[in-house]
Amino acid sequence: MKSNIAIKSNLILDHPDYRPVHRYLPGDLVKKIYPEKVDMRIIESELTKRQIFELEQNLICIICDMPCAGTCES
Amino acid sequence: MNQQFGIGIDFGTTNSVVCFYDDSIKTSRAFLDKGLPHSSVIWYRADGSKPQVGRESRRQMRSYSGTEGHHFQASIKRQLGKDYEEFIFGRKVKCHEITSEIFRFLKEDALTQRPDLEFTHAVVTIPVYFDGKARRDLRKSADNAGIFIRSFIHEPFAAIVGYLSRSKSLERIDTLSDKTILVFDWGGGTLDITVAKVLGSQIIELAIGGVNDRSGDFFDEEIMKFALSRSYDRNGISSDTIRIVAGDKGRILTECERTKIALSELSYDKIQIGRAYSQSERRYDVDEIINRSELNNIVANEVDDAIIQVESTLSRAGVSPHAIDQVLLIGGTSRMPYVRDRLREMFSHRITEIKNADTIIAEGAAVIDALGFQPFFARSLCVELADDSLYPVFEEGSLAVPDLCKKTLSFYCTDNRNGEAKLILKDRSNEYRSSKPALKNILTIPVSPELPRPYKHEKVSVDFWLDSDLIVNVKGKAATQRVGNSHEIYDLCYGLRLFNSDME
């Protein structure tokens, strides 16, 4: 059966090429364990574009009070 | 002292063949029974005499199956790796002990035909989806019979080598460079499909596919159901009240198999079995005519599925049917006219009729053994990382040498909140970019779900090693956990580098 759900790996090699490790964490987890890295002044240098996107997807919406990723507006 | 030789063994569900490669004449020789392969039926007798294997056993099965004092074991290959046991005259016999009888017979027959030779080891062919347990059972069976299995090789792959060797193309393999060959091997137990490419002096499996348990034996059962249902209708009895004992079922299946084979040549045939089933003490005969179009209807769904398997194997290989230069048809089920017609619709004239297709797989195995062709990884086995990149564990082109192919990798888990690390294993080819990376397995390794402060990334160590059964074993464990997880990957694609210098 075809599915749109993609299982994503959560492993990164323990190797100098893959440092710093926090750049491979999901954006919402980075916020949980390294809150200082999501400071708007440094976020672009500390996180990857993908992490920032993931973080935005998980922000609590001020309209619906849920992590709606902007869908509640429509 | 006798000359020591290796042999190639095609241990089949219905028939088995042994070949050895005669280097002096650069040809493989099969040990046959009056020009035919040995039947894989084992005949046990209650008097304790030595179990008999081969065509005589199959012949006797027709007469004595279901008779007291006789036990026939057919298609035992299908039970390998399933912890199967059979009660034979009150004694529990394990599957590998039963299959040992076939290996023992094959070895004795080879030695009888060539007493001047001593066979010490073998390359044994296996279906593409034979898992680790089945391979270990097979190795145990051969060991019991005094045959050391030097290596396993996929049946369709051995068929290509056998075919090239027989057509004297192996010596000038370079001239076939860039040829793409599809092997369609449909026998009594499994359907095995391989798309392979010749590249320089190498043959590479681009993709493998197939199914178990939807093959010749399954067709025999379907024909049996068809014939019995007609017989019940003719006699005006309900199938609910019928009793068929195991021995009678064996007789009916043997007759159905004979009819199936006959219908490859004839337009109709008769299924005749005396005293085939009983209803309230009365025994009934089966005497039914079946024609080829009825047979086609019986097998239509399975043949459709087989064609879908061919299409999906081609898709995984990244090759269109038009890009296939040659199709080799192997196995008894492939001989059915309906199967051939369906494949002809797809590949038209590129289907190759192989003379003595029964022995081609064992011939290939014998060549591989004699010339020392060492398989290599045809695709890189990779771990998918959290950034979606693929990190190769065993590189494409590297020799698949058991014990030497081993690696330990250390990972950090980038998201432990679910309490599991996901080790995603894929294989990919850099050489053939048209073939997409294929998922091999997702191994979940337990990790701690805690988010400690200060946070410490969970470390996961994973061992990879190739064993002598050509299986990549993967075992992973997190540093904080007492237990890990493991998996065996057996459906990998291999390649063979042909050493031309040895052929000259």
Question: Residue A48 — pLDDT band, cuts 50, 70, 90?
Answer: very high
CA distance B74 to B486: 34
Asked whether the beta carbons of residue B414 and residue A25 sit closer than 8 angstroms, the reply is yes
B275 within 8 A of B283, measured Cβ to Cβ: yes
Asked whether the beta carbons of residue A7 and residue B442 sit closer than 8 angstroms, the reply is yes
User: What CATH number has the domain bearing residue B275?
Assistant: 3.90.640.10
Counting beta carbons within 10 angstroms of the beta carbon of residue B112, is it exposed (0 to 12), middle (13 to 18) or buried (19 or more)?
A: exposed
Would B308 be classed as within a structural domain?
no
CA distance B11 to B109: 14
Q: Average pLDDT for residues B8-24, to the nearest whole number? A: 92
CA distance A35 to B489: 41
Q: What is the per-residue pLDDT across B47-62, written as a single tens digit (0 to 9) for each?
A: 989 999 999 999 898 7
The residue that leads in pLDDT, B133 or B244, is: B133
The lowest-confidence range among B202-211, B296-305, B350-359, B471-480 is B350-359
**Which has the closest alpha carbon to B105: B44, B160, B155?**
B44
Would B152 be classed as within a structural domain?
yes
Last residue of one domain, picked from the residues B370, B387, B412: B370
Asked whether the beta carbons of residue A33 and residue B388 sit closer than 8 angstroms, the reply is no
Please tell me which of the candidates B410, B414, B455 has its beta carbon nearest to residue A10: B414
**Which has the closest alpha carbon to B379: B282, B493, B498, B486?**
B493
Examine the domain organization and report whether B182 and B244 are in the same domain: no
Residue spans of alpha helices (H) in B318-437: 337-347, 360-370
Number of domains in chain B: 3
Mean of all residue pLDDT scores within chain B: 90
Which residues of B are less than 8 Å from A9 in CB distance?
Answer: 383-386, 388, 422-424
B202 within 8 A of B496, measured Cβ to Cβ: yes
User: What CATH number has the domain bearing residue B112?
Assistant: 3.30.420.40
Q: What is the per-residue pLDDT across B77-92, written as a single tens digit (0 to 9) for each?
A: 999 999 999 999 989 9
Q: What is the pLDDT of residue B183?
A: 96
Please tell me which of the candidates A12, A26, A33 has its beta carbon nearest to residue B412: A12
Asked whether the beta carbons of residue A9 and residue B413 sit closer than 8 angstroms, the reply is no
> Is residue B492 over pLDDT 50?
yes
Q: Average pLDDT for residues B211-217, to the nearest whole number? A: 83
Examine the domain organization and report whether B366 and B390 are in the same domain: no
Q: Average pLDDT for residues B11-39, to the nearest whole number? A: 91
CA distance B191 to B33: 25
B197 within 8 A of B432, measured Cβ to Cβ: yes
The interaxial angle of helices B155-166 and B360-370, nearest 10 deg, is: 80
The 3-state secondary structure of B215-270, one letter per residue: CHHHHHHHHHHHHHHHHHHHHCCCHHHCECCHHHHHHHHHHHHHHHHHCCCCCEEE
Would B303 be classed as within a structural domain?
no
Last residue of one domain, picked from the residues B370, B390, B412: B370
Examine the domain organization and report whether B283 and B256 are in the same domain: yes
Structural domain spans, chain A = 23-59
Mean of all residue pLDDT scores within chain A: 86
In chain B, what is the greatest distance between 2 CA atoms, to the nearest angstrom? 82
Q: What is the pLDDT of residue B447?
A: 96
Examine the domain organization and report whether B443 and B478 are in the same domain: yes
Q: What is the pLDDT of residue B1?
A: 58
Is any Cβ of chain B less than 8 angstroms from the Cβ of A11? Answer: yes
B467 within 8 A of B135, measured Cβ to Cβ: no
Examine the domain organization and report whether B489 and B464 are in the same domain: yes
Would B305 be classed as within a structural domain?
no
Domain that holds residue B358: 3-213+315-370
Asked whether the beta carbons of residue A12 and residue B422 sit closer than 8 angstroms, the reply is no
Examine the domain organization and report whether B192 and B230 are in the same domain: no
> How near does any CA of chain B get to the CA of A73, in Å?
30
Q: What does the DSSP 8-state code read for residue B297?
A: H
- The structure's pTM equals 0.86
ipTM of the complex: 0.84
B216 within 8 A of B13, measured Cβ to Cβ: yes
The vertex-B24 CA angle with B23 and B26, nearest 5°, equals 55
Q: Average pLDDT for residues B189-216, to the nearest whole number? A: 89
B163 within 8 A of B328, measured Cβ to Cβ: yes
Which residues of B are less than 8 Å from A25 in CB distance?
Answer: 386, 414-415
Which residues of B are less than 8 Å from A21 in CB distance?
Answer: 412, 414, 457
